[in-house]
Amino acid sequence: MTDHVLVINTGSSSLKYSLVDARTGEAAGSGLAERIGESQGHHVHRGPDGETGTTAKIPTHEDALRAAIEAFESHGPSLDDVEIAAVGHRVVHGGSRFGAPALIDDDLIAAVTDLVPLAPLHNPANVEGMKVARRLFPDLPQVAVFDTAFHQTLPPHAYTYAVPRSWSEEHGIRRYGFHGTSHAFVSQEAARLLDREPDDVNAIVLHLGNGCSASAVRGGRSVETSMGLTPLEGLVMGTRSGDVDPAVPAYLMRELDLSMDDIDQALNKSSGLQGLTGENDFREVSRLRAGGDERAALAFDVYCHRIRKYVGAYYAVLGTVDAVVFTAGVGENSAEVRAAALSGLQRLGITVDENLNAAQSKEARRISPDDGEVAVLVVPTNEEWQIARESLNLVRSR
Ligand code: ADP
């Protein structure tokens, strides 16, 4: 029997893959095809012999997956030797229907297609990825792992927006939440680090990457999260605004004669750090701030203030908190964000040890003092591993 899962993450012009040992999380081979459909595409494959890159036109997602299969054959590891147990797909929006991973069949593809209006930037590509993989791996079970699924345990008072009932009842307007695979992985790892069972731990998880989201996890179940109907709500992100007064779009439409699409685009693509500083990459903002740039300094403060506000809110939601957990690119690497976001919270039992926080490491670790009431942790996320585990569990339980 094999424990390897081929994990696929399909974007509108990219296809990322990783052949993961679901037991250990180790990736035997992985790669990324980018600029699919453009005049010049690029494919990088990492196997046992290191990394190989190819620049050539990649007309379709099917061509991208074929190139991946060929790269496994030429550069290893051979897919025949590894014997894949399942193909696991990252699917962004599963709506209210999917609270767990599910086997991919025609019905599931139809359901994910029906959800395209809720995730127009992501679900069409995810559907394409599932179709292509079913064609190229017709004999393997294929599993959809949804970004929204972990948050399907939110209670009604947390997922319901106070809007006309018909909006929610007829149009599915509610909080769904995203990054669920990461929040699930990180909260489990946090429990492991604390040497406790996940159902015995209350955690506030802060996923700070290009997209950013917070969640309150009670005993291993998500009970509140900052992203909403779409991934736009909540924390300040690389290019997304996070929370703004919902009246802002109407005001801009009236006063500036902007279209709804213009505003949607601006809030998703040219807001957040990008809107405040002209740079969406946190490292760049950090560099500007260190050089005395006032706009970058304000952006940093807005970013950290928003995180702190959510920590306070989720503390109140949970009542007791065992751990605050940082993850993803900024959360795992930026000691200054972790320190600033949690400063002054000693009365809540939250303290960050300056030296532990400053130490660079790729390992999951504690950055609060040993006697700190609330453990402050840094846990590197691994969504591929989580998708592999969930996919394998599902196919083994059939
Ligand atoms: P994604 O959400 O696309 O998976 P990541 O989790 O890789 O993104 O996070 C990307 C963000 O992490 C970027 O804003 C990047 O600047 C930031 N980041 C990466 N490394 C560091 C670092 N050493 N210090 C501060 N920020 C970092």
**What DSSP letter does each residue of 111-164 carry, written as one string?**
HHHHTGGG-TTTHHHHHHHHHHHHHHSTTS-EEEEETTGGGGG--HHHH--SS-
Q: Which of 146, 177, 209 is the last residue of a domain?
A: 146
Residue with CA at minimum distance from ligand 1 atom 3: 210
**Is there an atom of ligand 1 within 6 Å of 333 CB?**
yes
Q: What is the DSSP letter of 2?
A: -
Q: Which two tokens stand for residue 87?
A: 């193909």
What residues are paired with 366 via a beta bridge? 377
314 closest CA partner among 197, 226, 229: 226
53 with 139, same domain: the answer is yes
Q: Is 178 labelled as part of a ligand binding site? A: no
For 216, phi and psi rounded to 5 degrees?
-110, 120
**Domains of the chain: total:** 2
162 in a structural domain: no
Q: Which of 146, 174, 208 is the last residue of a domain?
A: 146
CB 126 within 8 A of CB 91: yes
For 89, phi and psi rounded to 5 degrees?
-110, 135
**Is there an atom of ligand 1 within 6 Å of 202 CB?**
no
206 in a structural domain: yes
349 with 255, same domain: the answer is yes
**Is there an atom of ligand 1 within 6 Å of 220 CB?**
no
- CA 161 to centroid of ligand 1, rounded, Å: 31
186 in a structural domain: no
263 with 117, same domain: the answer is no
358 in a structural domain: yes
236 with 303, same domain: the answer is yes
Q: Which two tokens stand for residue 162?
A: 């106070």
- CA 209 to centroid of ligand 1, rounded, Å: 5
Residue with CA at minimum distance from ligand 1 atom 7: 329
201 with 141, same domain: the answer is no
169 in a structural domain: no
Q: Is 282 labelled as part of a ligand binding site? A: yes
281 with 372, same domain: the answer is yes
207 with 324, same domain: the answer is yes
394 in a structural domain: no
Q: Which of 117, 146, 175 is the last residue of a domain?
A: 146
142 with 203, same domain: the answer is no
The DSSP result for 294-355, as a single string, is: HHHHHHHHHHHHHHHHHHHHHHHHHSS-SEEEEEHHHHHH-HHHHHHHHTT-GGGT----HH
Residue with CA at minimum distance from ligand 1 atom 12: 329
Quote the CA–CA distance of 235 and 197 in Å, as a whole number.
29
pLDDT along the chain (398 residues), means of 10: 91 97 96 97 95 96 97 93 95 96 98 94 96 98 98 98 97 97 98 98 98 98 98 98 98 96 96 98 98 98 98 98 98 98 97 97 97 97 98 96
225 with 129, same domain: the answer is no
**Segment holding 255, helix H or strand E:** helix 248-256
Q: What is the pLDDT of residue 1?
A: 57
Give the catalytic positions in this structure.
147
Range of the structural domain that residue 363 is part of: 196-383
Q: Is 31 labelled as part of a ligand binding site? A: no
Quote the CA–CA distance of 211 and 284 in Å, as a whole number.
16
Q: E strands of the chain, at which residues?
A: 4-10, 15-21, 27-34, 41-47, 50-56, 84-91, 102-103, 142-146, 202-208, 212-218, 221-225, 323-327, 365-366, 375-378
- CA 369 to centroid of ligand 1, rounded, Å: 26
85 with 218, same domain: the answer is no
- CA 282 to centroid of ligand 1, rounded, Å: 7
Q: Is 383 labelled as part of a ligand binding site? A: yes
- CA 294 to centroid of ligand 1, rounded, Å: 22
Quote the CA–CA distance of 271 and 286 in Å, as a whole number.
17
Is residue 377 helix, strand or coil?
strand
100 with 208, same domain: the answer is no
**Is there an atom of ligand 1 within 6 Å of 211 CB?**
yes
**Is there an atom of ligand 1 within 6 Å of 231 CB?**
no
Q: Is 275 labelled as part of a ligand binding site? A: no
Q: Is 333 labelled as part of a ligand binding site? A: yes
226 with 338, same domain: the answer is yes
**Is there an atom of ligand 1 within 6 Å of 393 CB?**
no
Q: Which two tokens stand for residue 72?
A: 């496994």
Q: What is the DSSP letter of 13?
A: S
CA-328 nearest atom, ligand 1: 6
Angle at 393 between CA 391 and CA 398, to 5 degrees: 100
Counting ligand 1 atoms within 8 A of each CB, the residue from 16, 121, 210 with the most, and so the one to mutate, is 210
**Is there an atom of ligand 1 within 6 Å of 95 CB?**
no
**Is there an atom of ligand 1 within 6 Å of 283 CB?**
yes
Give the number of other Cβ atoms within 10 Å of residue 112's Cβ: 27
160 in a structural domain: no
Quote the CA–CA distance of 87 and 48 in Å, as a whole number.
21
For 309, phi and psi rounded to 5 degrees?
-60, -40
Tell if the pTM clears 0.95, that is, is over it. yes
316 in a structural domain: yes
CATH number at residue 349: 3.30.420.40
Quote the CA–CA distance of 322 and 316 in Å, as a whole number.
13
